[in-house]
Amino acid sequence: MSNLNYRFHADRRQLGGMLMITGFCAVIHPIANIVNSFDADGTLNTDPSTIPFWVLTAINQLCWIPYITDMTNLGKMASSDPSKQGLVPAVHNPTETDVKFVASIGVIAVACYGFAYVGSLSFMAFGLHSLNARKYEQRPSGYYKGRLTFYSLVLTVGGGAQLALGIYAANNFGTGVLNDGIGTGALGEGTIRAAMLIVNYPLVSIFVGAIQVFHGLWGIARSFGKHRGPRDNKFQLYLAIQWVLVLCFQDIMQLAYFPVNVMTPMAAGIAAVSFGINMMPAYLDAKMRHTPEEIPEGYYIEVPQMEVPSILDIAPVKATQHESVSQTKRETWSDESGSLHEDDMIL
């Protein structure tokens, strides 16, 4: 029977489940790209950001390819004619500064979402490897603290990018007004696009970005010990709420402003790429609080212990006939007066 205890198997199932979930996101994203690669007439779109499906599923690290491609495309758009680029519609009369700012925000967002997306896959895979290789000491509480700081920083910067883009769009391009003077909250003309950051409602981008910045800073504080121990699960609850808000506002609400079926495939893609940046801080915070500072012996493997028999379990020993016969020896000795004495000694 294996001497691996319940904690080992529980952690391995946990990492395997998380790898399955993050891997599912890796499948959803390229499927969305494949669907988006064909227009209504069935002709293939030669968009360089669409890559073959098998590349994303072959090796985790190759998931960086579309992110690098997006950043490259954003750089090209930033240096193109402001009236012909695809970031800020021409109806807004964008200046070169407008285009470069939106492109810069897009590059920052792509980098943050990429670190979280690819990192979540790699983290779970290497976690399983460490367990299977019996290298338990490599992942104490301090290990998760460092990772929590990093992923919380990624969440903070990614949320800050969305917050800044929403503020810039609201300040420079307006929030839209109907003919009767009632504010719609949406851009009156044209959508701002910066990779996975789609802005139809600037105030929505500001709202979601501010929440992500707050939770990212909170995660950094918790990585430095600002929490109440293993039972303090408020952070996980609030990040779950954040994930729902991201799906409802950043994903569904921003894309639903488009005509029917125009941005449908992208909705699944945004849900997939945003999972890691919203999930990883919550997961790492929980592991940090429940894992010892140093992995003790027997934490994942049961250490066999010597059984001490009870006195009640000891059977009485019967003496043999030879042992039951007492043997004696006579010893002669003298006292101080010189008198002789003889004693019988039991052997």
Q: Which residue has the higher pLDDT, 260 or 5?
A: 5
Residue 263, number of CB atoms within 10 A of its CB:
20
The two structure tokens encoding residue 102? 């939106």
How does strand 340-346 pair with strand 192-194? unpaired
Confidence of residue 344 (pLDDT cuts 50, 70, 90): low
Measured CA to CA, the distance from residue 202 to residue 97 in angstroms comes to 18
The model carries a pTM of 0.71
Q: Which residue has the higher pLDDT, 48 or 310?
A: 310
Task: State the pLDDT at residue 266.
Answer: 78
Average pLDDT value for residue range 178-204: 72
Measured CA to CA, the distance from residue 192 to residue 171 in angstroms comes to 13
Task: State the pLDDT at residue 49.
Answer: 45
Confidence of residue 13 (pLDDT cuts 50, 70, 90): confident
272 has a pLDDT exceeding 70: yes
Q: Using alpha carbons, select from 168, 20, 10, 146 the residue that is nearest to residue 94.
A: 168
191 has a pLDDT exceeding 70: yes
Average pLDDT value for residue range 169-181: 65
Q: Using alpha carbons, select from 206, 277, 217 the residue that is nearest to residue 243.
A: 277
Q: Which residue has the higher pLDDT, 295 or 150?
A: 150
Task: State the pLDDT at residue 228.
Answer: 84
Q: Which of 54-63, 69-78, 215-224 has the lowest mean pLDDT?
A: 54-63
The DSSP secondary-structure symbol of 195 reads T
Burial class (CB in 10 A: 0-12, 13-18, 19+), 264: middle
Highest mean pLDDT of the ranges 14-18, 184-188, 287-291, 295-299: 287-291
Across 229-322, the runs of DSSP E, i.e. the strands, are: none
Residue 308, number of CB atoms within 10 A of its CB:
7
For 346, the 3-state DSSP assignment is strand
Burial class (CB in 10 A: 0-12, 13-18, 19+), 178: exposed
Q: In sequence order, which residues have a C-beta less than 8 Å from that of residue 125 and are 6 or more positions away?
A: 19, 60
Domain extents for the chain?
6-290, 315-346
Task: State the pLDDT at residue 41.
Answer: 38
Measured CA to CA, the distance from residue 82 to residue 95 in angstroms comes to 6
Average pLDDT value for residue range 296-308: 68
Highest mean pLDDT of the ranges 18-32, 158-172, 268-282: 158-172
Q: What is the pLDDT of residues 86-128, one digit of tens each?
A: 788 888 888 888 889 999 999 999 999 999 988 888 887 777 7
Q: Are 238 and 215 in contact (CB under 8 A)?
A: yes
312 has a pLDDT exceeding 60: no
Q: Using alpha carbons, select from 148, 127, 115, 107 the residue that is nearest to residue 239.
A: 148
Task: State the pLDDT at residue 58.
Answer: 56
Q: What is the pLDDT of residues 14-56, one digit of tens each?
A: 777 777 776 666 665 555 454 444 443 333 444 444 444 334 4
| Contacts made by residues 147-151, CB under 8 angstroms, sequence distance 24+ | 147/123, 147/280, 147/284, 148/219, 148/220, 148/222, 148/223, 148/281, 148/284, 148/285, 148/288, 149/219, 149/220, 149/223, 149/224, 151/115, 151/116, 151/119, 151/219, 151/277, 151/280, 151/281, 151/284
Percent of the chain with pLDDT over 90: 24
What is the helix (H) or strand (E) element at residue 188, kind and residue range? Answer: none
331 has a pLDDT exceeding 60: no
Confidence of residue 181 (pLDDT cuts 50, 70, 90): very low
182 has a pLDDT exceeding 80: no
Q: What is the pLDDT of residues 133-159, one digit of tens each?
A: 778 788 888 999 999 999 999 999 999
The DSSP secondary-structure symbol of 329 reads E
Highest mean pLDDT of the ranges 65-74, 260-269, 335-344: 65-74
The two structure tokens encoding residue 344? 């019988």
